[in-house]
Chains A and B, each alone.
Chain A
Amino acid sequence: MITRDALPTSTTNAPERRRMRGGGVVPVLGQIGVYLLLTVLALVVIYPLTWMVLSGFKSNSEVFANPWGFPGEWRTENYRAALDAGVGRYFLNSVFVTAVSIVTTTLISAWAAYGLTRTNLPFERVGTTLVLGGLMVAPTVALVPLFGLLQRLNLFDTLWGLIVLYTAYRIPFTTFLIRAYFIDIPRQVDEAARIDGASLWQTFWLIILPMSRPILVSAALLQALFAWNEFAFALVFLSDGDLKTLPVGLMDMQSRLLTNWPVQFAGLTLAAVPMIGLFLLGQRQFFRGLTDGMGK
């Protein structure tokens, strides 16, 4: 076990630090308790996920007979069967909806943030309230009226309907995030661009957007997480099985496959792994985005 005194966390020397903390048995017990807690929590997180991945390689009887252990034979065919049972198609639908809504949400929000922060907008407060006020409206509350609205607009049971909703409902949050970043960009940047003869449009595309890359990446990641996992809209506004996105598709698959547990586990794994992978790859950016976003 790593003891705290061995760690280079402070510039004071070890004996002094021990004296300041009081020394004795209690801190040692406290540390054991702390590491015990952290380990148990880690297991509580990891174990179900490991179980899910491993069960996806087992046979049906093994899931029952040997729930804890490794599979006797690694059956990759479960994963292929899950892909064929719909996970492959749901996956592509999710990729499409997520990718398009990332672009639309980020662009439209960046425009709004630009208008709010850098154009000397008359009645700027009204604009801010109108855009950010949407933060107060929860998607669930609008399910019934949206049901009729989407039908009238011929967007019901289409992936474009989802994209429009995913964009509309995320504009307030994304604008909030980007606006906080734009506020910190000095005004002189815009003035210099104007003196060089750039229009607002050119200033936005050629100067402000490239400067805001970090926040745009964070906004895109958060939108990806949202669109990839969204459930209520996809459940209510899609009825065609071929159009289902992963979250609702998995539910569908669960009722179709019933007792073919290993294939279901394989399907869950296929749905979870890309997001975990993306998160692990982008985590530095992601945590930084959180820090920036919470700053204001």
Chain B
Amino acid sequence: MRTVARRWAGWWWLLPGLVLLGTFVYYPIIQNFQLSTYSWNAFTSTPTFVGMDNYREAWADPVFWRAVGNNTLFAIVSLIFQVAFALALAAILEEAVHQRLRGVLRTLYFIPAVISITVAGILFSFIYNPEFGLLNELLNAVGLDEWQRAWLGDRSTAMGSIIAMSQWQNFGYTSVLFIVAIQRIPREFYEAAKIDGAGPVRTFFTVTVPLVREMTTLLIILTFSGAFLVFNEVMVMTAGGPANSTHVLGTWLYFNAFMADDMGYASAIATVIFAITFVLAMIQLAYARRRRVEL
């Protein structure tokens, strides 16, 4: 009997973590589903049950679809820069650059990732500033004056400007993850490619790319779900403006919950975000399992 009790005592080690997770992570998620079927705000004491009305509202809401579109654009651009470009950069750093310089550059490219998103966001809103911003000054200096504009104040460029800032901040981070993956490739593969007379480009496609596939898949999924969770970048730089053109699902949720005081609708948007990220997480999990079987 004592040994049984002792065996179960292992769960005591998990208790503090599980209590915190249960209270602040799992319970709110479940509650969110429930809240999304109510019409409710911070000041009403009696929420009214409205069933699927909040979801119908989302379906008919042009800003909601605009946000979905912006998240998708964010995902596509991030896949290009933080997966494809970052992989090429990692390969270049590992294969074509002197070791000492490689370390310096790796550190340098990583620096934007360690500064706060608020610092980066405000800094870039200064860079995009129409009066003294670096970007317009640069265009002026190279004779492209007619391209100058208020980058964040213009509906046609605001979203692109935010996305560009995000790439600046993150490409170094994913490059380092790819470097980690490349360093795990046994050297013999590269030597074999060399003996076969493969140049750097061919070696990249026949050795590096296939052998970092795991990391690539992981980063595709993480980048994709990250793009649907974007919040800070937009809040700091435009808060969804001008004219709601830069809203993403996260900021549209925030706006409805804490500005428009429509908590029920905000919860419905949260459910949509959860559904998207949950599906991506499941794909990731399934992939990880399959990999384990292969080994």
Contacts and interface: CB of A to CB of B under 8 A. Distances in A.
B119 interface: yes
A130 B132 CA distance: 52
Interface in B99-140: 99, 101, 105-112, 114-119, 122-124, 126-127, 131-134, 137
B32 A131 contact: no
Interface residues of A, number: 94
Contact of B10 (A4, A122, A135): A122
Contacts of B158: none
A115 B253 contact: no
B116 A271 contact: yes
A143 B108 contact: no
A45 B109 contact: yes
A116 B14 contact: yes
A115 B13 contact: yes
Given A63-B132, A144-B270, A168 B23 contact: yes
Nearest to A249: B118
Interface string B257-295: 110000100110011011001100100000000000000
Contact of B235 (A38, A235, A264): A235
Contacts of B273: 138, 140-141
Contact of B180 (A200, A271, A291): A291
Contacts of A271: 115-116, 118-119
A34 interface: yes
Given A48-B134, A49-B111, A137-B29, A247 B116 contact: yes
A115 B10 contact: yes
B17 A111 contact: yes
A45 to B, nearest CB: 6
B207 interface: no
Contact of A144 (B21, B177, B267): B267
Given A115-B14, A142-B28, A268-B119, A171 B126 contact: no
Given A140-B270, A142-B29, A283 B107 contact: yes
B145 to A, nearest CB: 15
Contact of A115 (B12, B168, B200): B12
B17 A145 contact: no
Given A48-B123, A115-B12, A276 B115 contact: yes
A147 B253 CA distance: 13
Interface stretch (B57-65, B90-98, B149-157): B90-98
A1 B164 CA distance: 30
Nearest to A248: B118
B44 interface: no
A251 B149 CA distance: 24
Given A120-B10, A127-B11, A138 B177 contact: no
A76 B32 CA distance: 49
B258 to A, nearest CB: 7
Interface residues of B, number: 90
A149 B34 CA distance: 14
Most buried by B among A45, A165, A251: A45
A131 B18 contact: yes
Contacts of A42: 105, 108-109
Contacts of A70: none
Given A136-B277, A236-B258, A130 B270 contact: no
B293 to A, nearest CB: 16
B118 to A, nearest CB: 4
B45 interface: no
Given A108-B16, A140-B231, A119 B118 contact: no
B181 interface: yes
A154 to B, nearest CB: 14
Interface string A267-293: 010011001101110010001001100
Interface in B3-28: 7-14, 16-18, 20-21, 23-28
12 contacts: A7-B99, A20-B197, A27-B200, A42-B105, A49-B111, A115-B10, A116-B13, A136-B281, A169-B24, A254-B122, A272-B119, A276-B114
Interface of B: 7-14, 16-18, 20-21, 23-29, 31-32, 35, 42, 89, 92-93, 96-99, 101, 105-112, 114-119, 122-124, 126-127, 131-134, 137, 168, 172, 176-177, 180-181, 183, 194-195, 197, 199-200, 215, 225, 229, 231-232, 235-236, 250, 253-254, 257-258, 263, 266-267, 270-271, 273-274, 277-278, 281
